[in-house]
Structure 1
Amino acid sequence: MTIPSDALTALTEVVGPGGLRSGEAIPARNRKDASKAEEGLPALLVLPRNTEEVAAVLAICSRFSLPVVVQGGMTGLAGGAAPLAGEVALSLERMSGVEEIDPVTRTMTVLAGTPLMVVQEKAAEAGFLYGVDLGARGSCTIGGNVATNAGGVQVLRYGMTRRNVLGLEAVMADGRVVSHLKKVVKNNAGYDWTQLFIGSEGTLGVVTRVLLALQPAVTGVQTALCAAGSVDKALATLNRLEARLGGNLLAFEAMWPEYMKAATGQGGLPSPFATQPELTLVIEAAMGTAAASEDAFAEALAELAEEGLLDDALIAQSSRDRQRFWAYREANYEFYRDLPPGIHFDVSIPLGAMETAVTLLRQRVEARSRAAFPIVFGHLADSNLHLSVHDAAMELSGFADIVYELVREMQGSISAEHGVGILKRPYLGMSRSDAELALMTTLKRTLDPANILNRGRILPA
């Protein structure tokens, strides 16, 4: 699509010549997100500096029926921010910054383009904690987190992004600005439209400003690397720890044998246990500063080991030990590059079906190709598995159908925390009923009747 000259002139008047890029002047980072979606050159890259400019840009795009793809940190894995031919890429990268931290209401007001790590650091400087934490914290943005309802490693205690957002400012497809940034926890005055925008992946409007809830800073963090003989034993461990530690658990991460083989092979990490268990767990809790807190964590794990729920437990004695334990959980950022080609998934499986699902996955992958193998890990307490299937024969067709059909059988979700985007759209019906899809379509048509926002993401174009 060629941008009409009148539209180009109008956009230039809004953001200035420095706020527009076209052709080869568009940086590589704006042509592709972190997914396997193909690289695309947008018809135009627009870089607004504030909400008013976003509103004016969308009003122009609406008037000229120009399709828009919204971009943040470009860390998405579902192709939601990857531009399609003819789209105007609307990047919020210049809209970055923490505008206010209110210690009385424990809230933070931030612009949508602010990196998650900046939010975490500013919260810590003020003596607080922001509850969402992701591996991509250095590059993902708050607007992107809101758009995808991002989760991460502390969902067990703090919930997903949805639970940490008190209010939003957003721009509708036609340029209208809607804002609800009131610092109150309870507000039943009509529809909570802000929650509708969270997880909508930019299809209903563009989030420009976010009011975040902050938490008290945690103290006495205790970390353990544990071995469990089965998923059932790991889940029993989870239930016992939640009951005994009084809600102090921060993380409960799980890695299956194939993952640990890659972490200790291609990843170069030492094997933590004498024999490889079915599940390697990273368990973390905020135990406070009481003298007995360290002992309480160790005693709880020792009791679980005596009962046979844990085969082994290593407890971090220093910050270096903690980093060493977490290195196993974050090894996937390194070892994937040395594995055979793979296809990646982010799914939810009901906890009661988790062990069956992983067993069936292994069987069906092997039946499809003896050269193929799955890598499974994830946020076990949240029913969220990150898995990939790799094939040394470099034949990956058919594995997506295997994985998503298994998810459907287990009554899970094809997307746990990365969104639907372009790549998972064909499989959405495996997680949502026809009635739900019809409702989504109605909402999209009502809020974006011209269908200019993130067209073809989540729903068909």
Structure 2
Amino acid sequence: MKSLETELGERFAANAVFLGSDIPERYFSDWMTTAPAGTARALVRPSSTEEVSALLKICHAHGVPVVPQGGRTGLAGGAQPVQGCVLISLEKMDRIEAVDAASSTISVESGVTMGRVQRMAKEHGLFYPLDLGGRDSCTVGGNLSTNAGGNRVLRYGMARDLVLGLEAVLADGTVLSHMNLMLKDNTGYDLKQLFVGSEGTLGVITKVVLKLFPEPRTTNTALCALKDYDGVLKLLGHVRRNLGANLSAFEMMWPDFYERMTSGLAHLTTPLPHGHGAYVLIESQGTSPDTDKDHFERVLGAALEEGVVDDVVVAQSETDALRFWAVRDSSGEFRAVFWPHVGFDVSIPTGEIGRFVESLKETLKAKWSGTQTVFFGHAGDSNVHIGVKVTEGEQPEEEIEQVVYKAVSEWRGSVSAEHGIGTLKRAFLHYSRTPAEIATMRLLKSALDPKGILNPGKVL
């Protein structure tokens, strides 16, 4: 039998294969983890589904582990190389195949970045709603593999809600292709959903059909200050009733986050003064330029008059809106003002988030009296991001994780809201999934990948 390296050299173009020490350093890291140089045996950059299939057939025959990579922007270690693996980078599979205005869909290869999908949709008068800070780096395949969320889940859903069709390659090279363009397709098992959120452990996504929407003609943004989380819940109910489907974002910042970021980062403005118990960023997108802004302001004016909010400032320009969003999105700059710390991406039932946060603060301070925290997130869809710092310098990460994830479990929450499990949360999966559920996941894994070569050590 020929060696793996020989087969790769015979099947793929020279510029598509890198062996051993020739693998560029950047492929050993994602956003959160770095594997030692030399961990991977080879890197292959296929340019088609057929090449992905051929590669997996070779790796399957040799029993060599395979780690798929997209933009390597993940936050859970899902793209981290494992010892002796072949890395599959989908970056050369970056073709936009079609935009179908009649069905409001776009068909793309998995290496296309989110930003390109957004821009192509806009060129056709349409809108792709999934949005993250890394939009010009993260890829569609990675977004689906991790079931990405972002800022507009409240209105449009998670990544899995935006997929109509999908093509994936199984561990043995079998190609499953169902590039469906129809909203209604009730033909047996919905196989595409097996691959969404499975982080490359069940198959390698190569192409997708994504839903598009009418391009919003208006966007209105406001920042509200409130007394406490009970007020946040009242405001959420108020804007849901009165803005209806136009409500596209409802982002909450606790004062520890808002005050730390607006005080610590010189480029940020402070749209509302410090000292309030909660801050909420609201966005509404609509299609009626003549009425949407007035309606938005009336809805928030009523919330102010009724005492639901203590203060509110409405963006009067795109520049204002960007200033508001800059505060909410400043978590990417924690290294400047809150470092080192241990970060978390969890979900808690929306009605319980306020009590959960207070309870967790008490638990952390009882164990570490000097604990500092920041809380922020997509409160309208139950997602809370948490930063914990209990001492200066290196943090007791494992101890902090045990405390936080145990609390999440006790409050019937999820240890991963939108970043996946990868390697970093694998040990805590049991806090959110029952033994029967995990056993069923393992059954699916063994059925689709009997040799266990697809992204081993991730998720399960």
Query: 1:127-152 deviations in whole A, cap 9, x for unaligned?
Result: 00012111111100000011011010
Helix, strand or coil: the match of 1:49?
coil
Q: Would you say 1:26 and 2:23 are equivalent positions?
A: yes
Matched residue, 2:381: 382
TM-score calculated relative to the size of structure 1: 0.96
Q: Give the AA of the match of 2:26.
A: R
2:98 alignment partner, one of 73, 95, 100: 100
Partner of 2:396: 396
The residue identity in structure 2 corresponding to 1:234 is V
For 1:39 and 1:6, locate their aligned partners in 2 and report how far apart those are by CA, in whole Å: 24
Q: How does 1:355-366 map to 2 (within 5 A)?
A: 355-366=354-365
Report Cα offsets for 1:181-230 as digits up to 9, x if no partner.
12111111111101111111100000000001110001111000111211
Unmatched runs of 5 consecutive residues or more in structure 1 = none
1:280-328 CA distances to partner (integer Å, 9 max, x unpaired)?
1110001333423211111110111111111111100011101111010
Q: Which residue of 1 aligns with 2:425?
A: 424
RMSD: 1.4
Q: Percent identical across equivalent pairs? A: 44
Choose the corresponding residue for 1:182, options 162, 180, 200: 180
SS at match of 1:175: coil
1:261 and 1:369 map into 2 onto residues whose CA distance is 22
Q: Which moved more, 1:397-406 or 1:140-149?
A: 397-406
How many angstroms apart in 1 are the aligned matches of 2:245 and 2:336? Answer: 37
User: Residues 233 and 351 of structure 2 are in contact (CA less than 8 Å); yes or no, is this contact kept in structure 1?
Assistant: no
Task: Give the Cα–Cα distance (whole angstroms) in 1 for the partners of residues 34 and 415 of structure 2.
Answer: 17
> In the alignment, which residue of structure 1 is the partner of 2:197?
199
1:323 matched to 2:322? The reply is: yes
User: Partner residue of 1:289?
Assistant: 288
8 A contact 1:373–1:389 mirrored in 2:
yes
The C-alpha deviation readout for 1:58-99, integer Å capped at 9, x for no partner, is: 000000000011100001110000112211111101111211
Task: Please report the TM-score for the alignment, with normalisation by the length of structure 2.
Answer: 0.96
For residue 89 of structure 1, the aligned residue among 87, 99, 121 is 87
Equivalent position amino acid for 1:89 in 2? L
Which residue of 2, 5, 8 corresponds with 2:5? 8
The 8 Å contact of residues 171 and 205 in structure 1, kept in 2 or not, is answered as yes
Deviation per residue, 1:333-369 (Å, 9 max, x gap): 1233432311111110011210111101211222222
Amino acid at match of 1:305: L
Note the C-alpha offset of 1:371. Answer: 2.9
Aligned partner of 1:170 in structure 2 is 168
CA distance in 2, matches of 1:292, 1:19: 54
Counterpart residue number, 2:366: 367
Q: Do 2:121 and 2:212's aligned partners in 1 also have CA atoms closer than 8 Å? A: yes
SS of the equivalent of 1:331 reads helix
Cα distance in 1 between the residues matched to 2:133 and 2:275: 25
Moved more, 104-113 or 23-32: 23-32
Task: Report the secondary structure of 1:43's partner residue.
Answer: strand
Counterpart contact for 1:12–1:19, Cα < 8 Å: no
SS of 2:264 mapped into structure 1: coil
CA distance in 2, matches of 1:271, 1:319: 16
The equivalent residue for 2:445 is 444
Aligned to 1:309: 308
| SS of corresponding position for 2:40 | coil
- Could you list the structure 1 runs, at least 4 aligned residues long, displaced by more than 6 angstroms after superposition: none
Show structure 2 runs of 5+ residues with no match.
none
Aligned residues: 456
Contact 2:82–2:456 under 8 Å retained in 1: no
Corresponding residue SS for 1:76 = coil
In structure 2, the residue matched to 1:336 is 335
Moved more, 20-29 or 140-149: 20-29
